[in-house]
Amino acid sequence: MKDLIETIAKALVDQPEEVRITKKEDDRSIVYELSVHPNDTGKVIGKQGRVAKALRSVVQAVASKESKRVYIEIV
């Protein structure tokens, strides 16, 4: 899952070496924190959040096999 998020994020930004993903997990959910260079934040979020929403939809579709909810936070 982390590799999927990283691959998509690196394709969207101008500085792919600045992409960082951290994972926080508890008994009911998994939270991935996506951190990018400040100049690339808008590219990951997109107009009116469309890119972020699409990224979250893809991740939720892949995570539907697991019994936990998966969230992405853009930091």
Is residue 55 scored above 90 in pLDDT?
Answer: yes
Question: Is pLDDT above 90 for 73?
Answer: yes
CB 5 within 8 A of CB 61: no
pLDDT at 67 over 90: no
What are the beta bridge partners of residue 21?
Answer: 34
2-74 belongs to which homologous superfamily?
A: K homology (KH) domain (3.30.300.20)
With a cut of 90, say whether residue 56 has pLDDT above it: yes
Distance CA 36, CA 22 (A): 12
Question: Is the distance from CB of 50 to CB of 12 less than 8 angstroms?
Answer: no
pTM of the entire predicted model: 0.88
Query: Domain segments of the chain: what residues?
Result: 2-74
Rounded Cα distance, 43 and 50, in Å: 10
Query: Average pLDDT in the 49-62 region?
Result: 94
Arithmetic mean of pLDDT, 36-49: 95
Tokens of 65: 């096999």
